[in-house]
Amino acid sequence: MVITKIHAVFFSATDNTRKITAAIAAAAAAALDCPLEETDLTLPAARQRDWAFAPTDLVILGTPTYAGRVPNKLVPFLAEHLRGNGALCAAMVTYGNRSFDNALSELCAILEGDGFHTVSAGAFACRHAFTDELAWGRPDSADLREAEQLGKNTAEKAEALTAIPAPVRVPGEPDAPYYIPKGTDGLPAKFLKAKPVTDPRKCCNCGLCARICPMGAIDASNVFETPGVCIKCQACVRRCTRQAKRFEDPAFLSHVAMLEANFQDPKQNEVFF
C-alpha cells in the first residue's frame, strides 16, 4: 500500500509513551522516506476535538497501561474522536514492569472500531510512574532500538500489503475486568479518591502542575487544591521542578510497596505482527 505520512499519536503523562511512540514513528518515517507528524493527546485541550486520518497514513498510537487496560478516562475520547478512515495503524502500550494484561487487546479493538487497520502492535516495559524501583532507566537505548525495529518492520509490512490486512492478533481480552491493585497485605488497595498533596515549604506556586495535569484537575489559582478528577498519573509529582507534590494516601503507598516487593524482575518488550 502507498503510505504518504507517518503519525506519532500518544497520551503520555510521564513521558515514557511519548519516547517509545516517537522512536517507532521516526524509524517508520525513515524507512518509507515520509513526513512525520506528532499529535500529543496528553492535555485536555487536545482531546476537545476530532482527529481524522487518511487511508495513506500510517499511525503509531501509544497509550500507557493503567490497571491492566487503556486509561479509562481516555477511552471515550479514543472511541469517539479518532477517525481512522482506513489508515493503517500500529498499536503500542507501555507498562510499568508488572503486566500490560489486557491493555493492548483493548487498544487494538478501539482502533479497529475507529476505522483503523492494525498492522502491528507492541508492549514496552518502562519505569513505573509510581516508583523508580520498577524498570528504572527504561526506556533505555536497547528499548529504543527495539522500538525502532518495530517501526521499520511495520513500515515494510505496510508497504508490502496489497489488500486490507486482518487485525493484528495480540494477547488479552478487550473487555476484561480492570486489574485490582493490592496492598502489602494482599487485599485490594482502595485509592481511587487519592489526590496529590503539596509541600508548602517547596511549592512556589509557579502553576506548572496545573498546566501539565492531563485531567486539568489542579486549581491554577491555588495549586494546593485539586478539585477535579485525579487519575494518579504522576505528571505533577514527576514534573514539579521543586519536588513539591507527593501522594500520602496509605492505600496508594501500600500498593506501591507491594509492586516494589513483587515486580522487580525486568520484563521483555513484546511485538506482534
Which residues lie near ligand FMN (CB under 6 A)?
A: 12-17, 64-68, 94-99, 126, 128-129, 179, 231-234
Establish whether the linkage from the previous residue to 139 is cis, with ω within 30° of 0.
Answer: yes
Instruction: Give the Cα separation of 196 and 129 in Å (integer).
Output: 14
Find the shortest distance in angstroms from Cβ 165 to ligand FMN.
27
- Measured from the CB atom, the residue of 110 and 158 that comes closer to ligand FMN is 110
Question: Which residue number, 1 or 13, has a Cβ lying nearer to ligand FMN?
Answer: 13
HEC profile of 10-77: ECCCCCHHHHHHHHHHHHHHHHHCCCEEEEECCCHHHHCCCEECCCCEEEEEEEECECCECCCCCHHH
The residue type found at 76 is P
Closest approach of ligand FMN to the CB of residue 246, in Å: 14
Closest distance of CB 188 from ligand FMN, Å: 14
- Taking the complex as a whole, how short is the minimal distance between the CB of residue 161 and ligand FMN, in angstroms? 29
Of 14 and 120, CB closest to ligand FMN: 14
User: Which residue lies nearer to ligand FMN by CB, 14 or 254?
Assistant: 14
Give yes or no for a contact between 20 and 120, defined as CB atoms under 8 angstroms apart: no
3-state SS, residue 6: strand
3-state secondary structure of 164: coil
Residue nearest to ligand FMN (CB): 96
Give counts: helices (H), strands (E), the chain.
Answer: 7, 10
Which residue lies nearer to ligand FMN by CB, 1 or 126? 126
Work out how close the CB of 141 gets to ligand FMN at its nearest, in angstroms, rounded to a whole number: 17
